[in-house]
Amino acid sequence: MTALTMLSYTAFEDHKILAAGRLEEVVLKVRRRLKASPSASILVFSDSTGKLMDFDLRGSEAELIDRLKIFVSTEEQSPASVCGPGRPKLGVVAREVSLLPRHWEWLATQSGGASAALRRLIEEARKRPSERELGRQAQERTYKFMTAIAGDLCNYEEALRALYASDKKRFQNLIREWPEDIREHSKKLAMPIWKTGEQEP
């Protein structure tokens, strides 16, 4: 399965969901909708980050799909534009890491050296994020989504405070009168927060 089929996006036309699912399906539906109604107000969000996305919809559908594949590939790579040593052709960027002596001693015993050991640890952590980290990510993506689409809705600021306080009951009560699709999508994005059972400091 490619990254293009794994990532999930949601497109809103005004306060209603126009399309949701794989990137290709969502963007093609947005393109067709804008061709039929050029003045339509449509926002596309990444469900994994909550970021508002912008796509080049010009050309044929085949050309658009090719650009989406490049876009997804670029989004997943580490930035290689940072100056400094490393192996930029492989996407490797060298940066300073500060560790205690015992950390360096432990790394020196690992196969492949310190850099390889650190990369393995990071990849393992990325595959199995903690509940607290999942909750923090959910707060960030819900915040980004709400900021882009719900800033003029009632109780917006209070809802953000409840979001960062991990107060599920208050959050859901404050957004109760929001348009249904925005309310339900906000609740969906925030769901991992309530599973942690932890209050953010």
135 and 123 co-located in one domain? no
- The answer as to whether 149 is a domain residue is yes
Domain count, the chain: 3
One-letter identity of residue 155? N
Residue 41's pLDDT is what?
94
**pLDDT band for position 80 (cuts 50, 70, 90):** very low
Mean pLDDT score of the chain? 82
* Structural domain boundaries enclosing 179: 131-196
Residue 109 sits in the same domain as residue 67? no
More confident residue, 170 or 23: 170
Q: Is the pLDDT score of 81 beyond 60? A: no
172 assigned to some structural domain: yes
Higher pLDDT, 153 or 92: 153
- Residue with more model confidence, 166 or 96: 166
User: Could you tell me if residue 81 is inside a domain?
Assistant: no
Same domain for 142 and 123? Answer: no
Residue 26 maps to a domain:
yes
Q: Average the pLDDT over each of 1-10, 24-33, 174-183 and give the range with the smallest value.
A: 1-10
pLDDT digits (tens, 9 = 90+) for 120-147: 887 777 666 677 788 899 999 999 999 9
pLDDT for the residue numbered 179? 97
Decide: helix, strand or coil at residue 156. helix
Asked if the structure places residue 50 within a domain, the reply is yes
The answer to whether residues 91 and 143 belong to one domain is no
Whole-number percent of the chain with pLDDT over 90: 48
For residue 22, is it within any domain? yes
Same domain for 57 and 26, yes or no, is yes
159 lies in a domain?
yes
Q: Which of 5-9, 165-169, 170-174 has the lowest mean pLDDT?
A: 5-9
Residues 56 and 12 in one domain: yes
For position 17, which CATH number holds? 3.30.1490
Query: Each residue of 146-161: pLDDT tens digit?
Result: 999 999 999 999 999 9
Give yes or no for residue 85 having a pLDDT over 60. Answer: no
Domain identity same for 104 and 50: no
70, 107: one domain = no
Pick the more confident residue, 110 or 9: 9
Give me the mean pLDDT over the 77-84 stretch. Answer: 40
For residues 94 and 66, membership in a common domain is answered with no
**Residues 72 and 91 occupy one common structural domain:** no
Q: Per the domain annotation, does 82 fall within a domain?
A: no
Residues 163 and 119 in one domain: no
Say which residue the tokens 């949701």 belong to: 20
